[in-house]
Amino acid sequence: MNSYFHTLITIDALAENFSENALKEILRANVKQDSIIGQVFHNEYHYDNNKISFSHQFIQDQKLKCIQAISKSAVKSARRAFGRLIHTAQDFYAHSNYAMLLSLATPGMESHVPLVDCVNPEIMNSKDLRSHKVYFPLDHLSIIPFFAKQLKKYAPYDSHLRMNLDTPLSGKLFVLVYGLAVQRTREELLSIISQIGTANKTKFNEFLGRVRLK
């Protein structure tokens, strides 16, 4: 997904929870996943090349790092891990056919922002669920708008160029993708809250930037 929309999605989902400085740290880690190294060598960061299980595992690994860091009051490390995991979670909807399968199962949903169903179990476990593949040099050339228009009609149906829902220019499903990504980002925060528990409320507030560290 376009880094600009990663930023908007994260702000929409989390601005009410985190302090301004805490949110900035999360955003830096989120956007950093789109570095050249991150895009070329790490399929798991973006649900690329149909490596869905690898990306699922990356999210869980980063969530564990986040929780462990919170328990140690290592808030910067916790925020970086959280920024990384929500980047991948957000990319799931832009780089897979999840939104399409959901819209087919619920006609009309593509026209509004959903309140639920960002992890619909039937779709998550469907044999039809897949993510795009990155074809070299086709998908790399498509970064340039002129080439994207010319090459799209020749691109394989499972290519990034054909499947990506990274921006509003990708099609009407982008509204659904955006809403799903916002909801999933909130759900990931709630998941961490449930695992931290009430006993570590002070440490969690440190993570949110609501408590000043000594």
Domain boundaries, the chain: 3-208
pLDDT bracket for residue 201 (50, 70, 90)? confident
Query: Which of 136, 162, 135, 158 lies closest to 148 in space, CA to CA?
Result: 162
pLDDT at 140: 57
pLDDT, position 30: 98
Give CA–CA dist 153/49, Å, rounded.
20
Angle at 30 between CA 10 and CA 122, to 5 degrees: 65
Question: Residue for token digits 């916790």?
Answer: 78
Mean pLDDT of 175-182: 93
Query: What is the structure's pLDDT at 112?
Result: 57
Query: What is the Cα–Cα distance from 176 to 124, expressed in whole angstroms?
Result: 16
SS3 of 133, please?
strand
Q: Residue 154 has what DSSP assignment? A: G
Residue 170: Cβ within 10 Å count: 16
49 with 130: CB under 8 angstroms?
no
Predicted TM-score (pTM) of this structure: 0.89
Contacts 24+ apart (CB under 8 A), 66-69: 66/192, 67/192, 67/195, 67/196
> What's the pLDDT tens digit per position in 51-99?
999 999 999 999 999 999 999 999 999 999 999 999 999 999 999 999 9
Using an 8 Å Cβ cutoff, are 161 and 155 in contact? yes
Would you call 56 exposed, middle or buried from its count of C-beta atoms within 10 A (0-12, 13-18, 19+)?
A: middle
